[in-house]
Amino acid sequence: MKFQGKCAAALLGAAMVLCAQTPVLQAQEQAAAGLVAGQPKPEAIKTFQSLEDSWSTALVRADQYGMELLLSPYFEDISAAGDVQTRDEFLAFRFQKNASRPFSMEQKVASVRIFGDVAIVSGTYQIKIAVNGDPRQENGIFTHIYVQTHGRWLCVNSQRTNVIDEPLNPAKKRHRKR
Q: Determine the average pLDDT of the residues in 56-61.
A: 94
User: What does the chain come to in residues?
Assistant: 178
In the prediction, which pLDDT does 96 show? Answer: 80
Selected residue with higher pLDDT from 33 and 91: 91
- Pick from 99-108, 138-147, 168-177: least confident: 168-177
In the prediction, which pLDDT does 87 show? Answer: 97
Of 22-31, 49-58, 122-131, give the range with the top mean pLDDT.
49-58
Half-sphere exposure of 21 (CA within 13 A, CB side): 9
Report the alpha-carbon distance of residue 80 to residue 96 in Å, rounded: 20
Half-sphere exposure of 160 (CA within 13 A, CB side): 20
Report the alpha-carbon distance of residue 102 to residue 44 in Å, rounded: 27
Q: Report which of 63, 138, 72, 145 is spatially closest to residue 105, judged by C-alpha positions.
A: 138
Q: From edge to edge, which strands make up the β-sheet containing 84-86?
A: 84-86, 71-78, 152-167, 134-149, 118-131, 102-115
Report the alpha-carbon distance of residue 50 to residue 139 in Å, rounded: 20
Give the type of residue at 77.
D
In the prediction, which pLDDT does 6 show? Answer: 54
CATH architecture designation of domain 39-177: Roll (3.10)
> What mean pLDDT value characterizes the chain?
80
pLDDT digits (tens, 9 = 90+) for 71-124: 999 999 999 889 999 999 999 988 887 777 789 999 999 999 999 999 999 999
In the prediction, which pLDDT does 95 show? Answer: 83
Q: Determine the average pLDDT of the residues in 131-141.
A: 87
Is 167 within 8 Å of 138 (Cβ atoms)?
no
Q: Determine the average pLDDT of the residues in 23-47.
A: 59
